[in-house]
Amino acid sequence: MPTKAKNPHLPLGDHKTAPWYGKDILSIKQFSRADLEYIIRVAHEMRIMVERIGTFDLLKGKILANLFYEPSTRTSSSFMAAMERLGGAVIPINEVKYSSVAKGESLPDTVRTLGCYADVIVLRHPDVGAAALAAKYAGKPVINAGDGVGEHPTQALLDAFTIREELGRLDNLTVTMLGDLKYGRTVHSLARLLTQFIGIKLNYISPDILPMPKDVMDEVAQKGLPQNEYSTLDKVLPETDVLYVTRVQKERFDDHAVYEKVKSAFVITPEVMKSAKKEMIVMHPLPRVTEISMEFDEDPRAAYFRQMEYGLYVRMALLAMVLGKA
C-alpha cells in the first residue's frame, strides 16, 4: 500500500507542531473532545478573519481537488470558498460524468490521479467506506464529505460549531433529532460527536421505518448517554435545546411509494414551535424539502441558514489543519 507522501513544499518547521498535518478526516470518531475544542477555536478565528479581511494567503500555492460523486450545493461550494478564501486553488470535479469515471475508472485510480495534482482531496461518494478506501490510494489527505449512509464528519463539526456559537456551550443540552435518522448520515456523525460532551440527552423521532441505526445507538449507549426514541415531537419539544431536523433521503429508497408515504411525516411550523423554549435553536443540514415550513424561517430560533455560513469557517479550519497551517 502506498504511504502518504509528506508534503515537501511546506516551509521547514512549519508543520512540525501541527498535529493534523497530512491526516485524513474520515470519521467523527477520530476526534477527542480536545480536538473538537481546538477545531472550534480555529474556526472561530477563521470567522473573525473573514469578517475583517475576507480573503488571506494562509494556503497560497496549495491545491484542493473537490471530487463529488453525489449532488451537493453547500458542502461542495463551501469547501471551494474555504480554499479560495485561504488563497489556495481548487480542481472542481462535480460532474463525474465528464471525468474519466464515466469511462469506468476506479475510485483508487481517480484519487491516485488527483493526488498527483492536488495537496488535499475532498470526496463525496455514495458508498459507505469510500473515503477510507480513497485514503489508501490518494497519497494526500482525504476529507470525507459524505460516504453514502455512513458519515459526514465535516457536517458534524460545523454542527458543533453552530451549537457553540449560538448557544454558547456543548455540554448540558437536550438534542432532539427528527426525520430520516436511518439514512441521514449527518445525524450518525453528530450523535457520535455529542458523546464527547457531558450532560447530553438525545431524543430520536422518526417514521417507524427510518430509526437511528443500532450501531450508532450502541456506541452512544456505551458512552453512557441517555437516548430515547419517540414517535411524536410534542412530548420532548418543550425540553429541547437543539432540534435537529433532517430531510427524508429520497435517493436511498428503492421503492418510491414508500418514500412518498413517509416524506412529510413531520413538518416544523410556527404553530408546532409554540411549545418550544425561547432560548433554543432549530438546525437542519439542508437541503430542506417539506420538513420545515418557510413561515418558520424568520423566527430567531431558525439557525439553519446561519449554520451553513458556519460551515465555511469550519472547512477553512480543517483545510488549514491538514495542510499544516493550524
By CB under 6 A, is residue 196 in contact with ligand NCD? no
Tell me which of 66, 94, 144, 155 binds ligand NCD, using CB under 6 A: 155
Query: Computed from CA positions of residues 138, 287, 28, 48, in that sequence, does the dihedral angle turn out positive or negative?
Result: positive
List all residues 6 or more positions away from 167 whose beta carbon is below 8 Å from its beta carbon.
173, 241, 242, 279, 280, 281
Distance CA(143)–CA(123), nearest Å, equals 6
Give the three cell numbers for residue 165: 456559537
Task: Tell me which residues in 133-152 interact with ligand NCD (CB under 6 A).
Answer: 146, 152
SS3 assignment, position 144: strand
Binding mask 273-312 for ligand NCD (x = CB under 6 A): ------------xx--------------------------
By CB under 6 A, is residue 75 in contact with ligand NCD? yes
Q: Nearer Cβ to ligand NCD, position 174 or 246?
A: 246
How many other CB atoms are there within 10 angstroms of residue 42's CB atom? 21
- Residues 301, 270 contacting (CB under 8 angstroms): no
By CB under 6 A, is residue 125 in contact with ligand NCD? no
Binding mask 222-261 for ligand NCD (x = CB under 6 A): -------------------------x-x------------
Distance CA(167)–CA(161), nearest Å, equals 10
Give the three cell numbers for residue 157: 463539526
The count of chain residues that interact with ligand NCD, using the rule CB under 6 A, is 11
Please, what is the minimum distance in Å from the beta carbon of residue 146 to ligand NCD? 5
Please, what is the minimum distance in Å from the beta carbon of residue 104 to ligand NCD? 25
Contact positions vs ligand NCD (CB under 6 A): 74-75, 146, 152, 155, 185-186, 247, 249, 285-286
